[in-house]
Amino acid sequence: MSGARIVALNSHRAARCAAAAALIALAFQASAAHASILFTPHLDEYADLPRGSYADHTLVFTHITKVFDDEGTTIPLGAPFVGPGQRLDAALLLFRYLWIGNLFENTWVPFLNDHKQIFRVIANAGWQETSEAITERSRLFGLHTGGNGVGDLFVLGGLYSHEHRLGPLKFNGLLATTVKIPVGSYDTGALLNVGSHYWSTMPQLAAHADLFGRLHFDGTVAYQFNGRNDAPAYGGMTPTEPANVYNLEGNLAWQFNEKWFWDVGAFFRKSRGPNKFGNVTATFVDPQPATTLCADPTGGLIPGLSIPPNLCSVTNHFALIPVAGEREDKGIRQLYLSTSVYYIYRTSSVIDFRVAYPLNGRGSQFPMDYDVALIGPDGSRTPISDCSNPQDSACQHTKLNGVQEAAAVPAAPLFELRFVYLFWAP
C-alpha cells in the first residue's frame, strides 16, 4: 500500500524523480485493516537524496472483500462466520517528516562523518469499518468492529552509503532501522484498531541503482521483530505473541520523460514461526438456545460445533466457555505484484496510482476448544463437557480467524492513489 516516501526532482537532471527513502510503508492489512508495516515497491525509494527537510502527506484507501485462510485458499471476508458479500473499508492518512543530512560532518567520528544520515517520523490517523453483518455478529460476542483515531508512531534512522558509478550505472546502499511506537488508539473490544498495542523494531538493508538515468532499481531486505501484546483485542483473536516477519521488496522503474514514470515490483513477507494466541475469551454474551447449536451443527453460530443430540433436548440454553491455553496458527505469508504510474509536476507534486495484486498468501487461523455448559433457570452454569479429556464428545472444537495486522492477510487487489506534495524541499 502506501509508501512512506518522498518524491523530489533532481534539478540537475530534470528527468530523475527521486522518490525518497520510504523504507517503510504503512498499509492496511486484511480483515482487520490496520496501519502496519509493508514494504511496497516504489520508484527511487532508496535513492540517495539531496540534503534537506521534506514533509508530505498521503491518503490511502482500501476495500477488502476476500482474505487468505491458513491453507492459502482465498475465502470471503469473515467466512464462515458470516455470509459472502462482506466488506471492510479503510482509509489511512500519513503525515511524514524526513530529514537528510549529516550530524557528524566535520567531526572526528569515523565513518559517520562522511556518510549522510536519514531520519524520519511518520504519524498516521485512520478509519476502518466493516459491513453491517460483521458488526451485528460481533455484537453477539459483546464486541464491536470499527476503529478510528490516531495510529502508532513510526520513527526511522538510517545511513546512506556513498554513491558509486560504473559507467552508465549508478548505485548506492542504505542501512536503516524503523521502530514502531504503539501509541495509537486501541480498544480491546474492537475488531479493528488503528493502533497495534505492541512494539516493533525493524532493521533493513536497501539498495538503489539506475542505468543511464532511465532504468531504476530499488530493493530491500528487512526483518521485523515484534513485541508482546498482553491485551489482545476482539476476544483474544489478535496474537499475544505476534511472530517476527521477514520482508523482501524489489522494484524496477522506467522513466519515459521528465514527468512520466512506470514501475513494476513485488513484495513478500512471511512470518518466522506461528503467531500465538494466549488469551482467547471470545464467546457469546447471551446463552445460546439448543436450536441454535443443534439444528445446524455445520452452519450455526460457530461452524464446526456439534452438540450431541441427546444433549440438545436437555435444556433451552447452553453456554460456550473458552478453554484456556495458548493456541498457534501456521504463520502468515503474503506475496504481491505491484505496478504504478507516476506523474511528476514541478518539483513539489507527484501523482501516483498503484495497483497491487495478491499472487498468494496465507492468513491466520487457529484451533479453539469450548466447553459446553447448561444454564439453569437461576443462571447457574453446569458444564457437560470436559475438554481436558481428548475423548470427550461434548467438547466443541472449532477454528477461529486471527485478526488485525499481525494475523490477517487480504486476498484482494490493493489500490493506491497518492498525491504527494512537498511543503519543504531542498
Partner 1 sequence: VRSAPRARPRSARQPRATPGIFALLALLPICSAAGEPIVLEFGRYLAKYPAMYSTSAFSADPRDSIYDASGRSRDGVAPTYGADSAFPQKRFDLQFEWFFPFFETEAIPLISDRTWTARADLGYSHLSADGGIADYARSHGLKESQSGITDIALHFGPVLYGSDNWRERADVPLSILLLADFTIPIGRRHPDAAVNAGTNTFSYGATLGGYWRPIKGLFLDAGAHWRAFAKNDEPAFEGQEPSKQGSQLSFDATLAAKLWGPIYASGSYLDVRGEVNEYSGARASAHPPSAGLLMETFPDARNAKDDGIRDRRADAALHWFVLQRLRLSLHYVMPVGGRSGEFDLPYQQQLLDCVALPTGCTPTPNGSDHVDGLGPARVYASNYFLLSATWNFSQGDFWLYGP
Residues that bind partner 1 (CB under 8 A): 59, 80-83, 91, 93, 125-127, 129-133, 135-137, 139-140, 144-146, 148-150, 185, 187, 285-292, 295, 299-301, 303, 316-317, 345, 423
- Tell the residue number behind the cell numbers 515484534, with chain if given: 226
How many whole angstroms separate alpha carbon 398 and alpha carbon 133? 21
Question: CB-wise, 21 or 67, nearer to partner 1?
Answer: 67
Residue 309 CB, nearest distance to partner 1 (Å)?
Answer: 15
Residue 316 CB, nearest distance to partner 1 (Å)?
Answer: 4
Q: Which residues, in sequence order, are bridge partners of residue 76?
A: 66
Strands 288-289 and 52-64: unpaired
Other CB atoms within 10 A of residue 185 CB: 17
Question: CB-wise, 212 or 419, nearer to partner 1?
Answer: 419
Q: DSSP state, 126?
A: E
Residue 364 CB, nearest distance to partner 1 (Å)?
Answer: 21
Question: CB-wise, 209 or 311, nearer to partner 1?
Answer: 311
315 grid coordinates: 435444556
> What values do phi and psi take at 133, rounded to 5?
-65, -40
SS3 category, 80: coil
Measure the CA dihedral 395/401/404/408, to 10°.
150
Helices (H), 40-190: 132-140
How many whole angstroms separate alpha carbon 351 and alpha carbon 345? 8
Q: Which residues, in sequence order, are bridge partners of residue 178?
A: 156, 202
How many whole angstroms separate alpha carbon 242 and alpha carbon 227? 7
Residue 317 CB, nearest distance to partner 1 (Å)?
Answer: 8
How many whole angstroms separate alpha carbon 368 and alpha carbon 257? 56
Question: CB-wise, 8 or 294, nearer to partner 1?
Answer: 294
Residue 291 CB, nearest distance to partner 1 (Å)?
Answer: 6
Residue 56 CB, nearest distance to partner 1 (Å)?
Answer: 13
- Tell the residue number behind the cell numbers 475465502, with chain if given: 75
Question: CB-wise, 132 or 163, nearer to partner 1?
Answer: 132
Question: CB-wise, 211 or 312, nearer to partner 1?
Answer: 312
Question: CB-wise, 71 or 286, nearer to partner 1?
Answer: 286
SS3 category, 112: helix
Question: CB-wise, 133 or 355, nearer to partner 1?
Answer: 133
Residue 199 CB, nearest distance to partner 1 (Å)?
Answer: 22
Residue 235 CB, nearest distance to partner 1 (Å)?
Answer: 15
Residue 261 CB, nearest distance to partner 1 (Å)?
Answer: 17
Question: CB-wise, 288 or 334, nearer to partner 1?
Answer: 288
47: nearest Cα among 21, 12, 22, 25: 21
Question: CB-wise, 114 or 132, nearer to partner 1?
Answer: 132
- Tell the residue number behind the cell numbers 512537498, with chain if given: 422
Handedness of CA 182, 187, 193, 198 (dihedral sign): positive
Strands 215-226 and 200-211: antiparallel
Q: DSSP state, 108?
A: S
End-to-end CA distance of the chain: 27
Residue 125 CB, nearest distance to partner 1 (Å)?
Answer: 4
